[in-house]
Amino acid sequence: MKGGTEFRFVTEGIHAALEQARKAAGGRDVRLGGGASTIRQYLRERLVDDLHLVIAPLLLGSGEPLLTGIDLRALGYECAEHVAGGRAAAHVILRRSHVAQR
């Protein structure tokens, strides 16, 4: 894509997808895209260093809960930053506290 962004669809699992993304990134940051189930898989494996949540006060329907069954503290995540955005949204940055131990 313009600017160098690549999208790849991988069916061999999250570890294979991450390995391909790291190779393609060439040392740059890798960003995870996907639904709640995909994000939960990466969180459980402690493969997410930073998670930027944007919380908007909208009712969108039932959807799939993002953090159901995830104990973020037990996995080493902590709130690194939070910014209230007025009525529009709140931003919360969660960071894995022992990122360097990977």
Per-residue confidence band for 100, with pLDDT thresholds at 50, 70 and 90:
very low
Cβ neighbors of 85 (< 8 A, separation 6 or more) are 91
| DSSP per position, 3-61 | TS-------S-HHHHHHHHHHHHTTS-----S-HHHHHHHHHTT--SEEEEEE------
Q: What is the pLDDT of residues 39-74, one digit of tens each?
A: 999 999 999 999 998 887 776 677 788 888 999 999
Determine the Cα angle at 37 with ends 10 and 86, to 5°.
115
